[in-house]
Amino acid sequence: MWDRGVSSVRLSEETGIDPSTISAVIHNKRRNVGLKIIDKLCVFFNCGVSDLLEFYKE
Q: Which amino acid is at 32?
A: N
Q: Indicate the pLDDT class of residue 29, thresholds 50, 70 and 90.
A: confident
- Residue 33 CA neighbour count, 13 Å, CB half: 22
pLDDT tens per residue, range 33-48: 899 999 999 999 999 9
pTM above 0.85, yes or no: no
Report the percentage of the chain scoring pLDDT > 90: 64
CA distances from 42 to 8, 37, 58 (A): 15, 9, 26
Confidence at residue 58, expressed as pLDDT on a 0 to 100 scale: 77
Q: Indicate the pLDDT class of residue 54, thresholds 50, 70 and 90.
A: confident
Tell me, what DSSP letter sits at residue 3? Answer: G
Q: Which amino acid is at 31?
A: R
pLDDT tens per residue, range 13-23: 999 999 999 99
